[in-house]
Amino acid sequence: MVQSAYIHIPFCHQICHYCDFNKFFIENQPVEAYLSSLAGEIDLTLKMYPVSQPLKTIYVGGGTPTSLSVTQLSILLETIQKRLPLAESGEFTFEANPEDLTEEKLSILKNYGVNRLSIGVQTFDDEVLEAIGRTHRTDEVLKGIELARHIGFENMSIDLMYALPKQTLESVKKSVDIALGLKIPHLSLYSLIVEPKTVFYNLMRKGKLKLPSQDTEADMYDYIIEALNQNQYIQYEISNFALEGYDSKHNITYWDNEEYYGFGAGAHSYIAGVRRGNIGPLKKYMSFIKEGNLPAIEENKLSIKEQIEEQLFLGLRKTAGVSLAVFEQKFGDSLLSIYTDEIRELTEKDLIEISDGFIRLTKKGRFLGNEVFQAFILD
Ligand code: SF4
């Protein structure tokens, strides 16, 4: 049963040097036409796969959803409210960029039931922000967070990045300490990965991208883990930390390998055992909808073997690991009997452990995750 929905808004006011998401510089883009196609896609999808009970989570991501104007935001939120019922205790997350956290925009989000903000901060160091192509500055973030709290947003997450150009260990420490001082209940921490087709990738190929050394990166990581642990943040997933009760319910849907709707250009969905990927370019996406077709260009009906592998690959990202009972209930067979030899070997190498009905990565296993995942690939 599908209980979550992701909605993709592929517009941004800036194009960051590291970003490989499906996004477009917002100026001169057909935003309103896109929003009406989005409504069309939701309608088409729900005709085939109706919502059987109010959703547990809705997540609006991008791109930068808050790059929409106030009027466009109202259109989008109205579309969602009319079509996607959210359970009373449901989580409704909106990704936001700091420079968009205005009173008007925040109030609209609040009025339409958004109850969680995920803010793309990346670092509280203005020099590093400039080096990665972000246009906001630390002052704006601090003001935006204060305003969001004033308007009633208490459940917030911020993204921070490390191993960035011009970033030192001191700079990472400062950013983490500021985040802790702000008592933001959820933090996502990512190291820079240089992806193809990005500004950084091109610079790297020309030998012009200067990044912190691997040792410095490891020191940054160690500092982050220690500082967050000392401040009651629980690392519930490889890159995600939360104070008790503030884990991202939406992202847990992915790691629990549960099904979800995915709407918008380039969005992915997992419905009725089929993973689909939508076409990315806006015009093509919109013409699919105009002709009354779903915009999916990739479709993969997962075999049981693939479903089992995914249950492990995704579930082992969580610190809690994979529930043996849920696995057996889902696949009618016990995980321990499917992977008897692999589990024995991985346990002997201290890469995984089994306790309290869960299988999980050990500390060593987290560093050598690939070795573990490799072992769980079925023939
Ligand atoms: S990182 Fe976010 S704001 Fe920057 S280009 Fe990518 S989607 Fe847009």
Can you spell out the DSSP letters for 21-36? Answer: SS-EE-TT--HHHHHH
Question: Of 3.40.50.300, 3.40.190.10, 2.70.70.10, 3.80.30.20, which CATH number belongs to 4-255?
Answer: 3.80.30.20
Which of helix, strand or coil describes residue 93? strand
Mean pLDDT of the chain: 96
Q: Residue 112 has what pLDDT?
A: 98
Question: Atom 6 (ligand 1): residue with closest C-alpha?
Answer: 19
pLDDT band at 379 (very low <50, low <70, confident <90, very high): confident
Q: Is 8 in the pocket of ligand 1 (CB under 6 A)?
A: no
As a whole number of angstroms, the longest Cα–Cα distance in the chain is 59
Atom 4 (ligand 1) nearest CA:
16
pLDDT at 338 over 90: yes
Instruction: Please indicate whether residue 223, judged by its CB atom, sits closer than 6 Å to ligand 1.
Output: no
pLDDT tens track for 165-212: 999 999 999 999 999 999 999 999 999 999 999 999 999 999 999 999
> pLDDT value at position 363?
87
- Does residue 25's CB lie within 6 angstroms of at least one atom of ligand 1? no
Residue 63, ligand 1, Cβ within 6 A: yes
Distance from residue 335's CA to the centre of ligand 1 (Å): 39
Of 300, 295, 314, residue with least CA distance to 10:
295
Please, where in the chain does CATH 1.10.10.920 lie?
307-375
Q: What is the mean pLDDT of residues 266-279?
A: 97
The residues with which 158 forms a beta bridge, in sequence order, are 119, 187
Q: What is the mean pLDDT of the segment spanning 233-257?
A: 97
Which atom of ligand 1 is found nearest the CA of 62?
A: 7
DSSP 186: E
Query: Would you say the CB of residue 62 lies under 6 angstroms from ligand 1?
Result: yes
Q: Which residue's alpha carbon is nearest to atom 7 within ligand 1?
A: 63
Summarize pLDDT for 146-163 with one digit per residue, the tens: 999 999 999 999 999 999
Question: Could you tell me the pLDDT band of residue 15, with boundaries at 50, 70 and 90?
Answer: very high
Question: Chain centroid to CA 215: how far?
Answer: 27
Contact 134, 192 (CB under 8 A): no
Q: Which residues contact 61 (CB under 8 A, 6 or more apart)?
A: 6, 7, 8, 9, 93, 95, 118
Asked if 358 and 323 touch (Cβ cutoff 8 Å), the reply is yes
Please tell me the distance between residue 262's alpha carbon and the centre of ligand 1 in angstroms.
19
Q: Report CA(137)–ligand 1 centroid distance (Å).
A: 15
Q: Is 119 near ligand 1, meaning CB less than 6 Å away?
A: no
Burial 236-263 (b: 16+ CB within 10 A, else e): bbeebbbbeebbbbbbbbbbebebbbbb
Cβ proximity of 183 and 158 under 8 Å: no
Q: Which two tokens stand for residue 144?
A: 């935006």
Q: How far is CA 184 from CA 69, 116, 187, in A?
A: 26, 11, 7
CA distances in angstroms from 364 to 129, 286, 359, 360, 370, listed in the order given: 33, 47, 14, 11, 11
Domain 307-375 class in CATH = mainly alpha
- pLDDT level of residue 366 (50, 70, 90 thresholds): confident
Atom of ligand 1 nearest to the CA of 67: 3
CATH 3.80.30.20 placement within the chain: 4-255
Least confident among 123-137, 187-201, 362-376: 362-376
Structure tokens at 150: 């004033």
Instruction: Determine the distance separating the centroid of ligand 1 and the alpha carbon of 23, expressed in angstroms.
Output: 7
pLDDT at 368: 87
Quote the ligand 1 centre to 16 CA distance (angstroms).
Answer: 5
For ligand 1, say whether the CB of 16 is within 6 Å of any of its atoms: yes
Q: Separation of 172 CA from ligand 1 center, angstroms?
A: 20
Taking only the tens place, the pLDDT of each residue in 27-76 is 999 999 999 999 999 999 999 999 999 999 999 999 999 999 999 999 99
Q: Is the pLDDT of residue 369 over 90?
A: no
Q: Is 317 in the pocket of ligand 1 (CB under 6 A)?
A: no
Residue 279 CA, ligand 1 centroid: distance in Å: 19
Other CB atoms within 10 Å distance of the CB of residue 17: 20
| Mutation pick for ligand 1 pocket among 11, 20, 22, 23 (CB with most ligand atoms within 8 Å) | 23
Give rounded-to-5 percent helix, strand, coil for the chain: 45, 25, 35
Choice from 9, 11, 12, 136 to test ligand 1 binding pocket (greatest atom count within 8 A of CB): 12
Pocket test for ligand 1, best of 9, 13, 16, 194 (most atoms within 8 A of CB): 16
What confidence score (pLDDT) does residue 205 get?
A: 94
